[in-house]
Structure 1
Amino acid sequence: MLNNKDFYDNFAEDYNKMISFDNAIKKRKSLLDKIVQPKIKYAADLGCGTGIDSAALVQLGLVVTGFDPSGEMIKQAKANAGRINLKIDFANYGISEIPAEFNKKFDLVISLGNTFANIERDSFQSSLKRCYDLLNEQGSLFIQVLNYKMILKEKKRIVNITENKEHFFVRFYDFEEDGI
């Protein structure tokens, strides 16, 4: 079985096709607009993937650094930013690997999608601490974690179906006795 980094390295090229990058930016921009306040200038996007949230934040006027442990996702993120003419810094680090030079640099740290759900249990607390270290004194942290209790309870197998001219993606869960 692949670890998370290898999984996302192998999947990076198809990820944009599956999530419809341009539409996803519009949705995220609408969400993030509710939390971005005038005092927020610098943001970190942890687990940035192909750069959707980073792009939305830049379109809202912020200076953004996106971090991801997958080098292939970072390549896709850079290509996406270039394609839509946005200046975004991207760095190939997982949360726990982000160098100290970034400490206290950000007004906002976000981690959306499955980033925190993919952190090993024994690293969860240190990853939260790392988020705190990245924030300046008045900074804010915004984390999304999927509600796996609800997912296990509802047992809805098909999560999403995405279709375009060349591809058909079905995202689903396999439910086992001891989890997903």
Structure 2
Amino acid sequence: MIQPYSKKNKSSSPGAGETDLYQLEFVQNLVAHWDELIDWEARSISEGRFFIDVLQEKSAKNVLDVATGTGFHSVLLLQEGFQVASVDGSQEMLAKAFENALQKNFILRAIHTDWRWLGRDVHEKFDAVICLGNAFTYLFSERDRRKALIEFYAVLEHDGILILDQRNYDAILEGHFSSRKAYYYCGESVKVEPEHVDEKLVRFRYEFTDNSVFYLDNYPLRKTYMQQLMKEVGFQRIKTYGDFKETYHHDEPDFFIHVAEKKYEPAKSK
């Protein structure tokens, strides 16, 4: 799903669009490092019950975890009694997620597919779709972003919700990058910093404890653009949190979390 650049194969200059970043899979070595970056225990504490509470508030029971990665949120929701299907574009990621779930005594329902054609491999409706871990920003073309959102919308029940997060690229583009590791990437031993920033590409550098270095490309989605895109696809009510808080200063959050409702509300008569 994402094109990783190792220290050996890092390209000499940023070039988003040179390859289809969405279809290319993680190299096995990066997958093996990913849980060090997340730190499941620390992340569980930092998130608390935010996602669980939002899903329960909306009476969601059946959840599609798009971009499941190594399975953190899928396992979390399984532990809370939700029915979960886990999707990822990387077979290596899904294998690691299945292994992680098995260690927690769960059998992961894993689906290897491209988000842009979810309906090809997913043939049921869900109360909620979650797309977390900044994964949506791996899509570099607006056409792909719209197509993926349309697929998310289509697999939702009529009153379903989409929970989608992203880094605070507004702050990054304005020169205010922060990685406090307070909420998302909690691995204290991993160094994360943007190596290149412009309006079409942010390249992050990840350095792990064994001195291995990887580079990941992301498209810098601005918050208001993402909100508008979801509305144009059909989501009617969108609420955006900053690091799980309803009230926040523009530059403060590391991450934005959008909660978008599909439920149709006819226009009020004048």
Which residue of the partner structure matches residue 103 of structure 2? 83
Higher Cα Rg, which structure? 2
Whether 2:126 is the aligned partner of 1:106: answer yes
Question: What amino acid maps onto 2:89 in structure 1?
Answer: P
Which residue of the partner structure matches residue 13 of structure 1? 32
Q: CA deviation at 1:175?
A: 3.1
Q: CA deviation at 1:169?
A: 1.9
Find the partner of 1:162 among 172, 187, 211.
187
Please say if residues 104 and 136 of structure 1, whose CA atoms lie closer than 8 Å, have aligned partners that are also in contact.
no
> TM-score scaled by structure 1?
0.84
Please say which of residues 36-45 and 150-159 is displaced more in the overlay.
Answer: 150-159
The percentage of counterpart residues that share the same residue type is 23
Please say which of residues 131-140 and 86-95 is displaced more in the overlay.
Answer: 86-95
State the alpha-carbon separation in 1 of the partners of residues 82 and 132 from structure 2.
17
Can you list the C-alpha shifts for 1:5-32, whole angstroms capped at 9, x where unaligned?
Answer: 3346541111012211233244445221
Please say if residues 58 and 64 of structure 1, whose CA atoms lie closer than 8 Å, have aligned partners that are also in contact.
yes
Where does structure 1 differ by over 6 angstroms across 4 or more consecutive aligned residues? none
Which residue of the partner structure matches residue 94 of structure 2? 74
Q: CA deviation at 1:140?
A: 1.2
Q: CA deviation at 1:158?
A: 5.7
Please say if residues 127 and 161 of structure 2, whose CA atoms lie closer than 8 Å, have aligned partners that are also in contact.
yes
Can you list the C-alpha shifts for 1:25-69, whole angstroms capped at 9, x where unaligned?
Answer: 444452212212273211001111001111111122101011010
> TM-score scaled by structure 2?
0.58
State the alpha-carbon separation in 1 of the partners of residues 135 and 154 from structure 2.
18
Please say which of residues 40-49 and 92-101 is displaced more in the overlay.
Answer: 92-101
Can you list the C-alpha shifts for 1:75-106, whole angstroms capped at 9, x where unaligned?
Answer: 11000000111233111112113244524421
Find the partner of 2:152 among 128, 131, 138.
131
Q: Counterpart of 2:85 in 1: which secondary structure?
A: strand
Find the partner of 1:93 among 98, 113, 119.
113
Which residue of the partner structure matches residue 22 of structure 1? 41
State the alpha-carbon separation in 1 of the partners of residues 160 and 45 from structure 2.
25
Question: What amino acid maps onto 2:163 in structure 1?
Answer: F
- Do the aligned partners of residues 43 and 26 (structure 1) sit closer, same or farther apart at CA in structure 2, a change above 3 Å counting? farther
> Where does structure 1 lack aligned partners over 5 or more consecutive residues?
none
Please say which of residues 44-53 and 136-145 is displaced more in the overlay.
Answer: 136-145
Please say if residues 159 and 172 of structure 1, whose CA atoms lie closer than 8 Å, have aligned partners that are also in contact.
no
Which residue of the partner structure matches residue 63 of structure 2? 43
- Do the aligned partners of residues 174 and 140 (structure 1) sit closer, same or farther apart at CA in structure 2, a change above 3 Å counting? same
Which residue of the partner structure matches residue 257 of structure 2? none
Q: Return the structure number with greater helix share.
A: 1
Matched length: 176
Q: Counterpart of 1:98 in 2: which secondary structure?
A: helix
State the alpha-carbon separation in 2 of the partners of residues 27 and 59 from structure 1.
17
Please say which of residues 95-104 and 133-142 is displaced more in the overlay.
Answer: 95-104
